[in-house]
Structure 1
């Protein structure tokens, strides 16, 4: 089976603080993973390691078959799409929506190269696939939070990445907008050319059916990992959150409540 990510005995220390400890994690092609953990659990540290922005204190990181330390990370990052709500703050709000999407091909903030007809057509096609084709020619600042997130995903897909990281993608969205975004991501995952998706969250109910694997991160360590249906159990999650929770399944999604 083709490996997309392999972390082997990865630890990360900043000063006296050990932020990650003995992380062993393999993501194979054809899998889509939910990365679940509370704030401060180490999720973002792992993402920064996968994208090569920080280096493990010990252990090895391989992405898309390449061992970090033996490969040009600038070239590697062209194959990784990363969507986070913090990216919204860096974009030029007066830009047209399709230009925001096209900028993803060059991994730039703003466009500094001539737009080709092919790039323009691809951007509009991606926007339509994600349910935001009606936003063409709108300025980015006039879009809703949910529409902006869809545009950022389209932007990440412009470079045809092999790995797509969605980091707290529904932050700031209301229930309706969240469900619409999750439905769009699920449609993306169903495409035969879909990249491997890592969906990072701290909300159980956002683990929709296409996320067939789940990893639980707590205090810089892996608490559990495996098939989502096996990891998302009431007893496992009660131990993970260190408080009793009740779990129910509805439409192939797990929902938890406090008893």
Structure 2
């Protein structure tokens, strides 16, 4: 049986984390460890604290109490800008308003900016990396198309390329399937699986409300309810009818077929009381 010394190194470690904003507790006593090569799903009802937790993981927020270590660096004791260069962040609400091309959007991942930096030009090696990622993610035929003309699915794949261009050690995806139809969603999930296949040591956390939006490469899952971790661990042990029903406060039947999950309501059943939770 493997010992703690045999496990991959922690990429992310949250210990007894509480986050309070304007007198309101958004997260309470959260514990979570993500190791190299693990692909986590973070699920929970609206307002459970999923996006807030992702901001801690991305060094965007700091805890009120407890410790957050990202890539071996403790928040509050590290240059945040330097740390963020090793974190890829995918948010479908990317605030770009100008008509940059896909090539230019992906290039902004090198500088960590929304727009192109004045008088900045990528190196030849960086341009090659941009082209390789655009090709890998299946949008090479749109490389010179303006952001304003792209479909939501094309934007999603461009943002994954943008997040990967700096070769991050941690990839964060905040509801990447938002606004996609079923075909575009499946293409995006295939893209995420492709990224993991090409970078098996890459760790990731994907936030979603829907089990159908989990890529097949998902290895671990955490359920968040009322700012607390309700359950966390191997995906097959966490994404069960009992635990998901407790987390969402409603009877839900979970199906795990092959490497994908699906959920449906149990008709005629009442609300489900949450258990004690976990840390």
Could you state the TM-score of these two structures normalised by the residue count of structure 1?
Answer: 0.95
**DSSP 3-state at the match of 2:93:** helix
Q: 1:153 aligns with which of 136, 140, 160?
A: 160
- CA distance in structure 2 between the partners assigned to 1:52 and 1:104 by the alignment: 16
Report whether the alignment pairs 1:162 with 2:172: no
For the 8 Å contact 2:189–2:214, the answer to whether it is kept is: no
1:29-55 per-residue CA deviation (whole Å, 9 max, x = no partner) reads: 021100111221111111222222222
Report whether the alignment pairs 1:106 with 2:111: yes
For the 8 Å contact 1:188–1:194, the answer to whether it is kept is: no
Q: Which residue of 2 aligns with 1:119?
A: 126
Shift of 1:15: 3.1
Using a 3 Å threshold, how does the CA distance of structure 1 residues 177 and 194 change in structure 2: closer, same or farther? farther
For the 8 Å contact 2:38–2:202, the answer to whether it is kept is: no
**DSSP 3-state at the match of 2:125:** helix
Q: Which residue of 2 aligns with 1:207?
A: 214
Q: Which residue of 2 aligns with 1:18?
A: 25
Q: 1:220 aligns with which of 219, 227, 233?
A: 227
Shift of 1:101: 0.6
Aligned residue-pair number: 257
Within a 5 Å distance, the mapping from 1:51-200 to structure 2 comes to 51-87=58-94, 90-112=95-117, 113-192=120-199, 195-200=202-207
Shift of 1:209: 2.4
Dislocated runs of 4+, deviation >4 Å = none
**DSSP 3-state at the match of 2:17:** strand
Shift of 1:194: 5.2
- CA distance in structure 2 between the partners assigned to 1:6 and 1:48 by the alignment: 14
Gaps of 5+ in 1: none
Could you state the TM-score of these two structures normalised by the residue count of structure 2?
Answer: 0.88
- CA distance in structure 2 between the partners assigned to 1:74 and 1:200 by the alignment: 23
**DSSP 3-state at the match of 2:121:** coil
